[in-house]
Amino acid sequence: MSFDRSMARCSFCGRHSSDVRRMIAGPGAAYICDDCLQLCNDILRDPAPFSPKALELASRPPVVVAAPPLGQERTENAGSREPLRTVTLELEQKQQGMTLILHRILYYQDFFEIQYLWIRPPFTAGFAFVPRIIFFLKDNTGTQWTGDRGGMILARPDLASGPNNAVYQGTARFRPRPATEANTLTIRAADPLGQFEALPPQPWQFEITLS
Ligand SMILES: [Zn+2]
């Protein structure tokens, strides 16, 4: 894909080349500025999976620099691949006025997905951020996964019980699948925007048995 580099914007903060000291070019239209690189270094030095800086970075709105090449937008979702196995969870946890429901786990050939519903007060109009949940998974053998945060969360007004509550449906994808010797999975999830609220929320935590 050709790309006019004079239009370069940092993929992490959206600033243009003229607004930063250094800009490092990655493949295609990906760039990172010196400030965001420093932030990433700080995150690497902090062992906590939900450190405030990591959550702040993850909660930023996506920087749209260029449309994907024609014909390649939907390759990831092309066709309706059937999962090899589906396990219904229906686990629900409330926390500070928000509820996270883990609906199902779907196992595919080389990855697995968690389908979830997130019930919370509605976002105010003009809200600048894309709502999302960040996942952190660990099984009893020590394998860890962090969630795919690229997927959009879908608003599901049809599931909301009233104007003071909004329901969002999302899917988090992880690879590879858990090893056959893994028998328990700890699923932690956090709302990265919660850090802007008066009482920062604790991550939700679920323990599930893998069968
Ligand atoms: Zn930046």
8 A C-beta contact, residue 120 and residue 127: no
Q: Does some domain include residue 27? A: yes
Query: Using alpha carbons only, what angle is made at residue 174 by residues 189 and 11, rounded to the nearest 5 degrees?
Result: 80
Instruction: Give tens-digit pLDDT for 133-189.
Output: 888 899 999 999 886 655 556 777 788 888 888 888 888 889 899 999 999 999 998
Q: Does some domain include residue 68? A: no
- Please report, in range form, the residues annotated as the binding site for Zn(2+): 10, 13, 33, 36
Instruction: Give tens-digit pLDDT for 59-118.
Output: 777 665 544 444 444 444 444 578 999 999 999 998 878 899 999 999 999 899 999 998
How far, in Å, is the centroid of ligand 1 from the Cα of 23? 8
Same domain, 33 and 95: no
Same domain, 92 and 194: yes
Same domain, 185 and 130: yes
Q: Please state the pTM of the whole predicted model.
A: 0.63
Same domain, 145 and 194: yes
Same domain, 130 and 38: no
How far, in Å, is the centroid of ligand 1 from the Cα of 10? 5
| β-strand partners of 189 | 135, 204
- Please report, in range form, the residues annotated as the binding site: 10, 13, 33, 36
How far, in Å, is the centroid of ligand 1 from the Cα of 14? 6
8 A C-beta contact, residue 113 and residue 171: yes
Same domain, 181 and 100: yes
Same domain, 95 and 37: no
Q: Give the domain range for residue 35.
A: 7-45
Q: What CATH number corresponds to the domain at position 106? A: 2.60.40.1640
Domain tally, the chain: 2
Measure the CA–CA gap between 187 and 144, rounded to whole angstroms.
10
Same domain, 40 and 134: no
Protein residues placing their CB within 5 Å of the ion ligand 1: 10, 12-13, 33, 36
**Element housing 32 (H / E):** strand 31-33
